[in-house]
Structure 1
Amino acid sequence: MDIQRFNHRKNDHISRNTVPDNFSESTLEDDAMKIYTRSIFADQQAELQGTLSECLPIETKIEEPFLKISMKDWKAHGDGLLEVCFKKGEDVIALCTCRRFEQYGLLCKHIYFVFKMFKVKEIPNKYVMRRWTKDVVPNDLNNTFDITVDGDDAHKKAKEVAYEIMQTGEYLIGNLIKDFDHLLIVRDRMREMKEMVDELRITKPIDPKFDRYSRLIGYEKPNTDDPPTVLKGEGTAADKVANKEGRKRRAIQLEKDPNLVDEEDEEVETGDEEEFEESDEAEDSDFECEDE
């Protein structure tokens, strides 16, 4: 879990605070760089590069209100023939027969090719899936921060401020990691703020580990003050120890006086004799049946 959290924070820091290379220098690539996380941007950057060397337009047909552009994809399976259905305007519509967006939520090189052809400078919002964006994390702060404010709007703003503070700290560390003197200045300022918070006594005590885990899995801590329940026929541990000691004393007495027989032994012996007599009667009845 710690490794996963570290990798998540590391990748999030890289996505937010570093700038990748823009190979095509197009507005679509700049827009994708601002929207997507680093790994998703790498995927979309490869698709944008594919528009230059892998897509060849063949035919354009007008079927109002759409345009249908047929093209050849040199790296596609089969004959590589595809078709993009496109509508330009305030509500841009683009559908490709490769159906990459429907499967993965990411645009394909064929739609990017048509966007370039008709000078669409930004990725339409309808084709940006929120799960691939950089800003997907702030809306998940409910599981991280327990902020008490009045109203949902104030609660949302407080979480945005908390996340901004976290990102600011990561930004400072990322940019000053090689400048030790300025890094010490930031560290000292943060210590001063921590001391101020401690003096105001507004820090929240950390809950015990068991309570944090129990809230996570929805488990309530049992009441240890209740007396222990004993199943019928088992007895307590003290009873078991007493019975064991009694059996030891009885064995020692039998060793000293073999003729000593207590009530329990008599009951066992009489029970065995009764069973033996019943078995003899059953054998006699069998013999009688054979004689007849």
Structure 2
Amino acid sequence: MPNTRHRFCLWHILCKVPEKFKGVTDYDSACLEFKAVIYDSLTIEMFERNWNEFVVKHGLERNEWLSKLYVDREYWVPIYLNHTFWAGMVSTQRSESMHAYFDGYVNSMSTLKQFVEQYEIAMCDKNEKEFYADFKSKNTVVNCISVFKWEQQFQKAFTNSIFKLVQEEIKRMWYCHVIQPTEEGRREADNEPGIERHKIMEKSIINNWFRREFVYDVEYRENGQYFSCNCKKFESKGILCCHIMRLMSLKDIKFINERYLLRRWRKDVNRVHSKKFFHGGYPHMTEEFEKYREMERLFQEASDLAYDDNKIKFVKQRLVELKRDLLSWNDGMIAPTSNAQVTIDTNNVDENEENERVILNPHVTRSRGRPRINRHRSVREITQRANSGRNRKRWKAA
């Protein structure tokens, strides 16, 4: 895989900071500044400058661990990797995801045979959870927090979990404002017609007494409606950043281009991988069950091909005919052939199904009042109930 982009796990690197900096005089300050160099460098030049200042300030020029990290900086520093799409991943998730994936199905004492038997069950359960998440995204609505038309566009296109991340960026947009360009900035912008450059300042409130301010460069091309920000959030995570959103509100843009609605985040996409059935000859898979799954697979493939109204009506019509033939099926007979014409009006499908529906006995339910007593009664109890009945009649007559 020559085009594969590799990176080091940032979580494992930061875990070694306490061990590697234990001899530093100002330990707490060094740890905070090291993380700031990694996360707060907006350009490669800024990172290299901040790195050199950090190393000189704390006397870490001969630190072998930092020297090796600097040589391999293109494999772990975010500013070198943000131009590649990572779907938000910054650390290795292989071990953790495998443990979480099979948690509850296998353990350290499970044999290889048990793992093979539990593998398909785990896959089916994960597919069911994915179906349930898709169902919630398609049938529940997360309310918008603004009046922008493009937020409604995100709401209709994205799944609920991704749309909530978009709303987090909308909330951060409240702390961003546009810096008016200087005369020099206007002259540079005039050199490239069709491209607008803006500087967006974001104020990050850490606590009551400490705030950080970052200035981001955002470009906008009206021809084709292209956006670009040096934070590279869309390129690395697939979600527009708050700086581009702030510029969109400034330009009064109603709707965004479809290129910024990634297919992997959409809820109207038919994901074929969830329909795959994992055949492996497992002990609990009988021959009859495999035949049933094969029939179900063929039906799913036929359903996927019916993507317009005429084909959908055609499939519904054939299913009605197939159902009629199956209801009239007798053991030992050859498969009946339906003589129904293909031009049957599919508007009457529901009525035909009602006429062909098998009528079953109603469910037996308990009637109102006290339940009937079938136990044996003594002579004394029968006599007392009869006398009480006579007394009630006499009282009514009086």
TM-score (norm 1): 0.49
Give the TM-score normalised by structure 2.
Answer: 0.37
Structure of larger gyration radius: 1
